[in-house]
Chain A
Amino acid sequence: MRRINPVLPSAIINNAIEIDFIFEGQQFKGFDGDTLASALSANDVKVFGYSYKYSRPRGIIAPYAEEPNALVSLEQGGLYTPNAKATQVELYQDLIASAPTLNPNSIEKIKPLFKAFHRFMAAGFYYKTFMRPQKLWMLYEKVLRSFAGISKAPVDFDSEHYDHMHHNCDVLVIGGGLAGLTAAIEIAKTEKSVILLDERPSLGGTTYDYPDEAVGSTNQLEYMNNIISQLDTYPNVEILSRTTAFAFHDENNVIANEMRQDHKPLSERNANLSRQRLHKIKAGHVLLATGASERPIAFDNNDLPGIMLSTAGLSLLNRFSVLAGEQVVIFTNNDSGHTAANYFAKYSQKVTLIDTRSNSPDVALNGNVRLINSSVIIKANGKNSVSSVTIGERDQKSNKNVLTETIDADLVLVAGGFNPVVHLDCHTGSNPIWDDNLVAFAPNLSKQKRSGTGALTGYIYATDVINNAKEQANNIINNSITATTAQKNFLNTDKFFNVESFGGKQFIDMQNDVTTSDIQLAIRENYKSIEHIKRYTALGFGTDQGKTSNVLGVAIAAQSQNLKMSEVGTTTFRPAYTPVTFGALAGQHINDLFDPERYTPMQPSHINNGAIFETVGQWMRPWYFPNNGDGLDGAVFNECLKTRESLGVIDASTLGKIEIHGPDSREFLNRVYTNSWTKLAVGSCRYGLMLDENGMIMDDGVTACLSDDHFIMTTTTGGAAKVYQWLENWLQTEWPELEVYLSSVTDHFSTTAVVGPNSRELMLSICSDIDFSKEAFPFMTWRAGTVCGVSARVMRISFSGELAYEINVQSNYGRFVWDSVLEKGNKWSIVQYGTESMHVLRAEKGYIIAGQDTDGSVSPIDADLSWVVSKSKQFSFLGERSLSRSDTSRVDRKQLVGILTEDPSEVLSEGAQILNSNTNSNMLGHVTSSYFSPTLNRSIAMGLVRDGLRRKGEKIIVATAKGKRSPSTIESYVFFDPDGLKMNGNESENVDG
């Protein structure tokens, strides 16, 4: 292989700018405009890797995105990119690339190991292996992974960043070749907004590869350059190059990925720009101009380096000025081989054109071309690359070939016909249709507001393409879409896909080493559907998704079963058209921006006070405060005991808060909660239980009556958004007659909860305008006043079983009040506590956590909360009717109970299974909450147990995953102060306020 000098006028390289790069540790030179593949080819590198099953040398076979063999890894560390196709990698100064399967040392090392596996590795290897004892898979996997023929997965964090952009346009044109450009400019004249996407760095599609083709008095390259310069003058046209439309979703939503910096030297990459940008485009109309890609013809040893598609050879020659061989053999079944022969004959004295057809087209051939009709390549010969081909004459009837001669060759171009790039059209669920005229699967194009043009619909020659593109553009402008495909034979293609084997290996899918005989074996083993053949042989499973191999596979399946191509059909084309890095899909939604983190106003104080945080929903909440270097257990012990002995404080600002306004607020609460709100007095609070319509607990919390038509509801921290939406839904869709207004005020108020026997004393020291006497301010009421000089609502409610007050102030004052309480509380040795101690304190007292002790299958009766359910409300509250359904009213449902272990020091695992102690089996339920209680100096747990309410006092076994069995007893789940004496400040009072 060599670079043609002077550089061909059609070439996009600039030989005035030399580029140094490293491939496999070796220094090379290329030119500006080269791809890694073209530069290496110019340096006579032919082998890009070894195939994964048979370890055979492999070279480039395709011009661009279809390439199955030449997979490379780029750069290192945070810039590492696996599995790039060398044919798509733009060369830049100091590029470092390696071929993952090329390292001769590693190949030599594992080759002998691998030989032993050959007999397993016929088609169906994966299926058969999985069906064998699974243990063996582990053994195979190790060997397979190292042979997979693809790059290692990245291990370092991606050091570049990505973003997303949304667009709306009237017309989206996908493909910037002659067809797409011609249509785009026609549409642009109407002032419709147009976006044109093209995956390559330079617009023009394959015009560079066939530069001589005439358009009127000029050639297509000049014609195309003229359009591009005109397009620049239209402000209603946006052109995105290096942008691959990889997914086409319903309603003309197209997702495309733009490579913004991958082509730049590392030193010139701008850290402020995204590396790649994902474009989400919603188009009024989509015009597909995605072209067609060439397919090979299978023959023995067709994988030898030096054998490539004719389009790959033409791309190297005309686009990059690289002559890929001197002794050229072209094997064709259609007219395009003749065109290729003429291009090569300009630079090579010896071009042999082997045509499967007996009649050749009306194409004048260059004198250097020797045409052999009705013939095939029976096999290729050579060791590390092709050195000759053996030719045979084809008997059209028997399909047998008679060996005729052997021809020296260092470049074999295969022109097996063209496959329209139907992928995007198929993403929305339509299947391509086999077209006997085109000898290819044609796009369906049956969806609304979509059409196709150019080679995608069977137009190949420039004048035909231009006419069709103009016609399709006018159809869009006039809103009169009619799908058309070329009626004449696509390049007079012969329906010829593979040569009868001469005993060697004929490769269909090069990346997965799938041969003709593998497909035949699959069919013999009764895997006849193309979808089964694909999974059995791994045909089309690679990073190239079988772009060069699928149609060949279908053809062989059709031949073997005497079916028509249309009867075999294709496998399903799914996004992505070409691989997309996860970074592009994630965009900016990573790290801190993955999900918002919410902080209460007290957060800076929590950090100063050394809190360890945990995530609750989106909130960051103090988990515990390890003051003296205590771990979790030590801190919780201290926090719980000191709170119960004297005084604790917790930041409860994260609880959801919803204001409910309007004359029908009480009626609304009656409908969404299980208990009655009719008589709740202004100044009082009540615990409410919210059920879904299945009668299952959804959320709970305390609601305060601020005035007759104004309430404030609290929800669980994690349930706030869901509850708010639930309430909105009922108001808007079912009860529009209720005059009720909701506003979410979670962030508007912050809550400092002071807890413990000395909380009243503390309140007296920071608030002088509220009467804190038991008579004036009883449990489950709230009072307005001034706390630490700040206007506040103080609620006497408790989530710990202690006397407690929750101070609600406008958020801006939250941290001030918190800090003041800590300071004033010193007198009573105040301790701040986090969510872990909160959980322990509430579990000691037997308060449930909706979402932990319940899971959407627990009714209030199951949770032993019947006391919250009113039986006398007029309106059938949400979920009420379901409580009397036969299954919900069953008495032997799983019910929430307390569990005490025989060994008081043993803390059960949450989620552990609960078994019948007589049988030591029979699963009865599981543990939902479990802690060590410092107050009771023993472990406590709650769990859902079948028929649990009737089993109190019964022995059970709690089983852990590691096989441990813990004898335990079922108890009431109120472990601490069941009569509520402490919470009420040593006076007897009904918990139900």
Chain B
Amino acid sequence: MHLEEEDFSYSGEALIARPNNPSSISDDEWGDYLFMRKNPKGRHVEQWQHSSGCRKFFVIERNTIDNTIYSSYTMIQASKEIKHETN
């Protein structure tokens, strides 16, 4: 059983952590948080919301070339299981 893609909304690259103390970081660092995204051709860890359903946000790893979905995680799982690579 599959749910239709249109039941979900895309919400960008996942696991972009908001800096803990924004006022103490430089414009460049804040700019990285705001604007810099990986935008890969291939595997991409990204956040979605089940917007026409339970409204939960969750994380999937999707191939941006052919939309293969490799795995999905709750937000809690994602924060524990996916190692966040710093750029």
Contact = CB atoms under 8 A, between A and B. Distances in A.
Interface of A: 166, 168, 250-251, 280, 282, 428-429, 447-448, 693-694, 725, 728-729, 732-734, 736, 876, 880-882, 885-886
Contact of B34 (A282, A694, A733, A734): A694
B57 A876 contact: no
B66 A168 contact: no
25 contacts: A168-B1, A168-B2, A250-B66, A250-B68, A251-B68, A280-B4, A429-B66, A448-B68, A693-B34, A694-B34, A725-B9, A725-B49, A729-B49, A732-B56, A732-B57, A732-B75, A733-B57, A736-B75, A876-B23, A880-B22, A881-B22, A881-B25, A882-B34, A885-B30, A885-B31
A533 to B, nearest CB: 27
Given A250-B68, A428-B66, A728-B49, 14 more contacts: A251-B66, A251-B68, A282-B2, A429-B66, A448-B68, A725-B51, A728-B57, A733-B75, A734-B17, A736-B75, A876-B21, A876-B23, A880-B22, A882-B34
A251 B30 contact: no
A881 B56 contact: no
Given A693-B34, A736-B75, A882-B30, A447 B23 contact: no
B39 interface: no
Contacts of A428: 66
Given A250-B67, A876-B23, A728 B55 contact: yes
A428 B23 CA distance: 46
Interface residues of B, number: 28
Contacts of B68: 250-251, 448
Nearest to A694: B34
A280 B67 CA distance: 17
B86 to A, nearest CB: 18
Contact of B27 (A728, A734, A736, A885): A885
Nearest to B33: A693
Nearest to B18: A734
Residue among A725, A732, A734 facing the most chain B CB atoms (10 A cut-off): A732
B66 A447 contact: yes
A166 B27 CA distance: 49
Contacts of A886: 27
A275 B13 CA distance: 42
A733 B47 contact: yes
B35 to A, nearest CB: 9
Given A693-B34, A725-B51, A876 B22 contact: yes
A880 B55 CA distance: 27
B49 to A, nearest CB: 7
Contacts of B49: 725, 728-729
Contacts, number: 53
Contacts of A736: 75-76
A221 B83 CA distance: 60
B11 interface: yes
Nearest to A448: B68
B69 interface: yes
Contacts of B51: 725
A92 B66 CA distance: 43
Contacts of A733: 47, 57, 75
Residue among B17, B23, B31, B34 facing the most chain A CB atoms (10 A cut-off): B34
Interface in B2-19: 2, 4, 9, 11, 17-18
A732 B18 CA distance: 13
A515 B22 CA distance: 66
Contacts of A876: 21-23
Contacts of B55: 728
Contacts of A694: 34
A733 B74 CA distance: 10
A702 to B, nearest CB: 25
Contacts of B31: 885
A881 B23 contact: yes
A696 to B, nearest CB: 11
10 A-B pairs closest in CB distance: A881-B22, A250-B67, A876-B22, A732-B57, A282-B2, A250-B66, A251-B67, A881-B30, A733-B57, A885-B27
Interface string B38-74: 0000000001010100011100000001111100000
A880 B21 CA distance: 11
Nearest to B34: A693
Contacts of B56: 732
A881 B25 CA distance: 9
A881 B19 CA distance: 10
A729 B48 CA distance: 10
Nearest to A881: B22
Nearest to A732: B57
B11 to A, nearest CB: 7
B15 to A, nearest CB: 9
A447 B11 CA distance: 27
Contacts of B25: 881
Contacts of A166: 4
Nearest to B74: A732
A729 B27 CA distance: 24
Residue among A250, A282, A729, A885 facing the most chain B CB atoms (10 A cut-off): A250
A680 to B, nearest CB: 24
Contacts of A882: 30, 34
Residue among A251, A729, A880 facing the most chain B CB atoms (10 A cut-off): A251
Contacts of A250: 66-68
Nearest to A282: B2
A736 B2 CA distance: 28
Contacts of B27: 885-886
Nearest to B9: A725
A618 to B, nearest CB: 15
A818 to B, nearest CB: 32
A301 to B, nearest CB: 46
B75 A729 contact: no
A27 B15 CA distance: 70
Nearest to A878: B18
